[in-house]
C-alpha cells in the first residue's frame, strides 16, 4: 500500500472549502491558546485580590478594634475589596468557561471527523477481464466542504496529535489531563496488519504471495467498517475496490485472495474476512477510548459551567446585599442625626 497522504495533501486541488476547514481548525487552536493566556492572567488577578482582602481583614477587623471603627473599616475598605475579589473570581470563572467552550468546539470538529472516517463514499461500476466490479474514492469532499473517509480519519488523527503534543489541555485539572492523554495515546497507537507474506496465496498458485500491509489509525478506522466489502486498491490508495472479494460475479478465482488455502475453496478464509476479524476489535478500542475522552471532557465541562453560574449568582447576591447594607447604614445614620437635632 502506498503511503497515505496527510489531510492537506488529500484535499489539495479540490477547491477552497477544504482549505477553509484547515484554517478553521487553526482558528480553533488559536481560540484555545488565547483562552489559556487570559485564564493565567485572570487567576493571577484573583490571587492578588484575595491576598489584599486577607490583609485588610487582618488589619481592619482584628480583635480589640472598636466596633464602630470596625464597621466603618468594613464599609470603607474590606467590603469594597471583597467586591473586587469576587469580581476577579467571576472573571476567572468566565475565562475558564470560555476556554472549555473553545476546547469543546475543537473536540466537536474532532468527533465529526471520527464519525465520518469510515465513510466509503460513492462507487462506480468498472470492468476488467473477469467482469464487472465497483470502484470509488476512499476520501472525498461533500457539498458542505467536509472531507470524508480516510481524509476525515487523517483530520481526526491530526487533531489528537495537536491536543496531545501541545499545551492545549493545560487549562484542565491534572487528573482530567491524565485521562484525556491516556485515551489519546491509546487511540494514536492503534494499528493492524495483514498476515505475513508467506501466509497469503492466490486462488491460482501462479500469482504467488502478497506482501504484508500495515494499517495505520486512519486506515484502520476506515477499513474496520468497510473491509467486509472493500479493501485498499492496488496502485493508488485514493481508490478502493471489491475486485478481490467477489469471484462469483464473473471475476474468477485468479483475482481472489485466500488465507490458509486448502483443497476445498469453500473452507478457505478470504482476505476480507481476515481483515474484518483483525480490524474490528481495534476499531472497538478506538470507539471505547474516544468515548472515555469525550465523556470525561463533557463531565468536566458541566462542572465548569455550574461553577461559573454559581460565581455569577454569588456575585449578584453580594452586590445586592452590599447595596442594602449601605442603605441600612444611611438610614441608621439619618435616625441618629434626626434624634440629635430634635434635642
pLDDT digits (tens, 9 = 90+) for 273-282: 666 777 888 8
Residue 274 is predicted with a pLDDT of 67
Check if the beta carbon of residue 218 is closer than 8 Å to that of residue 161.
Answer: no
pTM for this structure? 0.71
Cell 492503534 belongs to 190
- Candidate from 108-117, 147-156, 177-186, 204-213 with smallest mean pLDDT: 204-213
Check if the beta carbon of residue 171 is closer than 8 Å to that of residue 35.
Answer: yes
Residue 213 is predicted with a pLDDT of 64
Segments making up each domain of the chain, as ranges: 7-341
Residue 248 is predicted with a pLDDT of 39
The SS3 assignment for 76 reads: helix
Check if the beta carbon of residue 98 is closer than 8 Å to that of residue 106.
Answer: no
- In angstroms, the Cα distances linking 313 to 195, 310, 319 are 62, 5, 10
**In the chain, where do the E strands start and end?**
123-128, 131-137, 139-141, 147-149, 192-193, 200-202, 214-215, 231-232, 239-241, 257-259, 269-270
End-to-end CA distance of the chain: 104
- Arithmetic mean of pLDDT, 187-211: 58
Check if the beta carbon of residue 296 is closer than 8 Å to that of residue 180.
Answer: yes
Name the pLDDT band for 317 (thresholds 50, 70, 90): confident
Name the pLDDT band for 336 (thresholds 50, 70, 90): low
Strand partners, 201: 258
Q: Are strands 231-232 and 257-259 parallel, antiparallel or unpaired?
A: unpaired
Residue 175 is predicted with a pLDDT of 95
Maximum C-alpha span of the chain: 124
CA distance 343 to 337: 10
Cell 447594607 belongs to 325
- Arithmetic mean of pLDDT, 216-235: 68
Amino acid at each position: 500500500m502506498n503511503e497515505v497522504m496527510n489531510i492537506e495533501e488529500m484535499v489539495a486541488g479540490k477547491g477552497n472549502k477544504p482549505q477553509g476547514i484547515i484554517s478553521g481548525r487553526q482558528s480553533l487552536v488559536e481560540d484555545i491558546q488565547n483562552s489559556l493566556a487570559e485564564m493565567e492572567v485572570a487567576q493571577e488577578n484573583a490571587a492578588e485580590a484575595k491576598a489584599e482582602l486577607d490583609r485588610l481583614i487582618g488589619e481592619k477587623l482584628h480583635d480589640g478594634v472598636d466596633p464602630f471603627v470596625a464597621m466603618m473599616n468594613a464599609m470603607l475598605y474590606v467590603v469594597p475589596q471583597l467586591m473586587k475579589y469576587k469580581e476577579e473570581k467571576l472573571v476567572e470563572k468566565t475565562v475558564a468557561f470560555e476556554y472549555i467552550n473553545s476546547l469543546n468546539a475543537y473536540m466537536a470538529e474532532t468527533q465529526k471527523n471520527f464519525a465520518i472516517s469510515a465513510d466509503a463514499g460513492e462507487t462506480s461500476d468498472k470492468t476488467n477481464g473477469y467482469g464487472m466490479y465497483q470502484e470509488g474514492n476512499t476520501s472525498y469532499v461533500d457539498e458542505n466542504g467536509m472531507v470524508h473517509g480516510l481524509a476525515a480519519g487523517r483530520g481526526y488523527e491530526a487533531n489528537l496529535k495537536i491536543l496531545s503534543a501541545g499545551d492545549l489541555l493545560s487549562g484542565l485539572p491534572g487528573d482530567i489531563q491524565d485521562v484525556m492523554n491516556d485515551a489519546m495515546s491509546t487511540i494514536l497507537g492503534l494499528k493492524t496488519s495483514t498476515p505475513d507474506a508467506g501466509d497469503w496465496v492466490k486462488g491460482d498458485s501462479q500469482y504467488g504471495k502478497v506482501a504484508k500491509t500495515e494499517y495505520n489509525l486512519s486506515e484502520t478506522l476506515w477499513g474496520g467498517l468497510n473491509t467486509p466489502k472493500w479493501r485498499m486498491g492496488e496502485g493508488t490508495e485514493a481508490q478502493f475496490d471489491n475486485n478481490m472479494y467477489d469471484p462469483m460475479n464473473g471475476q474468477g478465482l485468479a483475482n481472489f485472495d485466500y488465507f490458509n488455502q486448502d483443497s476445498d475453496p469453500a473452507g478457505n478464509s478470504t482476505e476480507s474476512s481476515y481483515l474484518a476479524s483483525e480490524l474490528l476489535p481495534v476499531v472497538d478500542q478506538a470507539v471505547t477510548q474516544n468515548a472515555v475522552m469525550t465523556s470525561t471532557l463533557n463531565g468536566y465541562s458541566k462542572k465548569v459551567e455550574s461553577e461559573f453560574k454559581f460565581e455569577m449568582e454569588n456575585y449578584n447576591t453580594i452586590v445586592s446585599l452590599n447595596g442594602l447594607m449601605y442603605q441600612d447604614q444611611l438610614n441608621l445614620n439619618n435616625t441618629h442625626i434626626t434624634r440629635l437635632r430634635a434635642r
